[in-house]
Amino acid sequence: MHRIVVLGGGTGGTLTANRLRKAYGLGEATITVVDQNDRHVYQPGLLFVPFGLTHPEDIIRPRGRQLHPGIDYRTAVVDHVDLETQTVHLADTSELAYDVLVVATGAVLAPEETEGLTGPGWMEKVFTFYTPEGAAALEGALAMFEGGRLVVNVVEMPIKCPVAPPEFCFLADWYFRERGIRNRVELTYVTSLDGAFTKPVASKALGGMLAERGIELVTEFNTGSVDGKAGKLVSWDDREVPFDLAVVIPVHNGAPYVANSPGLGDELGFVPADEHTLQSKARPNVFALGDAAALPISKAGSVTHFEGEVLVENIGRFLAGEPLDASYDGHANCFIETGFSKAMLIDFNYETEPLPGHFPGQVGLPLLKESHLNHLGKLMFQWLYWHSLLPGRDVPGITSSMPSHGKHHPKTPKEATRL
Ligand SMILES: Cc1cc2nc3c(=O)[nH]c(=O)nc-3n(C[C@H](O)[C@H](O)[C@H](O)COP(=O)(O)OP(=O)(O)OC[C@H]3O[C@@H](n4cnc5c(N)ncnc54)[C@H](O)[C@@H]3O)c2cc1C
């Protein structure tokens, strides 16, 4: 009987455990999922909470209920992993022995790492929408906001869903227009990147959309401290951005237990893994996916989903002593809400930039273009998340590898610069 232990019961841990349960009969493998709480948050929904478009209770479900029967679910904090003895040590002092370990403990926000961020003004005029509590508190603050300088700041990369902060800016523009006070609000997006996004083509498109909406873009700003009392962000090179209301995306690290598990993670607590097989660099019987993995691709739910399909195949191959499937190509797919019931879609992988065209084929959702259809896709995704993606069902027409059909590939370098 194989003992498979999955650390983390979020997007990656849940879909992996459910797919594994389908692949192995009850007599073939025990599957145990460990998470520190029983609150599964549909995180893309957090974007809509500050604008009153959804509420935390609509995007949170009990974690254990998302797991198929026959999966053992433990609510416990992981304390550390002993790779030598193949044992997970839980904070309640119990232990779990494994033959295969899946690390899916995501990324942890560390606002306390930025000087002043959680000091005076925190949750009064300095907020984050990356937690249900922060997003709900921000809803109240936005409703009270009658004008002034609203700043959205990404302290440092990597973060989960790098398009969520520009999306917040677009929705803020829409929200203040709806309230008839847009002319009284200065919107500024402050990022440590050299543009609005990590990939040049999408960055150019998003940068243009920010400019069209009168949202100022401040780049290469590495936030050193946040002064909530005086209302200013200060960079390490002493530039200042003043604010009346700040929406900050704090530093992200791997889960703290990774640092206490010799050999498992890197200096940020993320777990290095082979970018095509998802096998960890630490041990052949340890796999990592989602935000917890140190891979050169966005930390996103879509990425986690596509990785999960290959990872589950590879656990099967590993246990059967077969060569691993190296087919994960870095496929990522993100809907970018742009306000006024429109959204843009980008689809890319390790090698290919987000390109214009259609997804998933010649006919489909428009890429790199705002459309109402994409907005509907973004809204529908929540249903797919709970009913298809988490239960481990295949989504018809969507594959873990990036589709090329339907994309306009530039034929010359000159054409590429015009995209
Ligand atoms: C505001 C926002 C908007 C987003 N929008 C999108 C989007 O539009 N599209 C998209 O694709 N992605 C989006 N994402 C990103 C997406 O939600 C994540 O990339 C995805 O959930 C990652 O899945 P994961 O399993 O790696 O991590 P998670 O789903 O975060 O799960 C990690 C789990 O590990 C548990 N854990 C951590 N440490 C421990 C410990 N020591 N012991 C026990 N358990 C532990 C946590 O409780 C958590 O349940 C968004 C994220 C945010 C915050």
Ligand 1, closest atom to CA 334? Answer: 9
At 353, phi and psi to the nearest 5?
A: -65, 160
* Contact 19 CB / ligand 1 (< 6 Å): no
In the 8-state DSSP scheme, what is residue 387?
A: I
Cβ 308 under 6 angstroms from ligand 1: no
What is the biggest distance separating any 2 CA atoms in the chain, rounded to whole angstroms?
65
Pick the CATH number of 2-106+255-320 from 3.40.605.10, 3.40.50.300, 1.10.645.10, 3.50.50.60: 3.50.50.60
Residue nearest to atom 37 of ligand 1 (CA): 105
> Residue 376 has what pLDDT?
96
Question: What are the φ/ψ torsions at residue 195 (nearest 5 degrees)?
Answer: -160, -170
- Whether the bond between 360 and the residue before it is cis, its omega within 30 degrees of 0, is yes
Integer distance in angstroms from the first to the last C-alpha of the chain? 53
Which H helix or E strand runs over 149? strand 148-154
Ligand 1: residue whose CA is nearest its atom 28: 10
Common-topology check for domains 2-106+255-320 and 111-252: yes
Per-residue pLDDT of the chain (419 residues; tens, 9 = 90+): 999 999 999 999 999 999 999 999 999 999 999 999 999 999 999 999 999 999 999 999 999 999 999 999 999 999 999 999 999 999 999 999 999 999 999 999 999 999 999 999 999 999 999 999 999 999 999 999 999 999 999 999 999 999 999 999 999 999 999 999 999 999 999 999 999 888 888 888 899 999 999 999 999 999 999 999 999 999 999 999 999 999 999 999 999 999 999 999 999 999 999 999 999 999 999 999 999 999 999 999 999 999 999 999 999 999 999 999 999 999 999 999 999 999 999 999 999 988 889 999 888 899 999 999 999 999 999 999 999 999 999 887 888 999 888 888 776 655 655 55
Which of 322, 320, 304, 382 is closest to 16 using CA atoms?
304
Q: What residues form DSSP beta bridges with 95?
A: 89
Strand pairing category for 245-249 and 126-127: parallel
Give the pLDDT score at 339.
96
Contact 46, 57 (CB under 8 A): no
Instruction: Give the residue, by CA position, lying nearest to ligand 1 atom 6.
Output: 44
**Cα–Cα separations (whole angstroms), residue 223 to 114, 180, 279:** 8, 32, 34
27, 1 contact by CB (below 8 A)? yes
User: Residue 379 is which amino acid?
Assistant: L
pLDDT at 415: 61
CA of 104 to the centre of ligand 1 (A): 9
Q: Where are the domains of the chain?
A: 2-106+255-320, 111-252, 337-418
CA of 391 from ligand 1 middle (Å) equals 16
pLDDT at 413: 58
Return the closest-CA partner of residue 181 out of 140, 210, 146. Answer: 146
CATH of domain 111-252: 3.50.50.60
pTM for this predicted structure:
0.95
Residue 357: partners with Cβ closer than 8 Å, 6 or more residues away: 366, 367, 368, 406, 407, 408
φ, ψ of residue 405 to 5 degrees: the values are -55, 140
| CA of residue 171 to ligand 1 center, whole Å | 22
Give, for ligand 1, the residue of 49, 160, 167 to mutate: max count of ligand atoms closer than 8 Å to Cβ: 160
Q: What angle do CA 28, 30, 31 make, to 5 degrees?
A: 125
**Residue 107 CA, ligand 1 centroid: distance in Å:** 7
**Residue ID of nearest Cα to ligand 1 atom 3:** 44
Question: Residue 199 has what pLDDT?
Answer: 81
pLDDT value at residue 95: 98
Report how far ligand 1's centroid is from the alpha carbon of 389 (Å): 14
* Ligand 1 pocket check for 88: Cβ under 6 Å: no
Q: Is 257 in the pocket of ligand 1 (CB under 6 A)?
A: yes
Q: What is the distance between the alpha carbons of residues 312 and 302, in angstroms, rounded to a whole number?
A: 16
- pLDDT for the residue numbered 404: 84
- How far apart are the CA of 419 and the centre of ligand 1, in A? 32
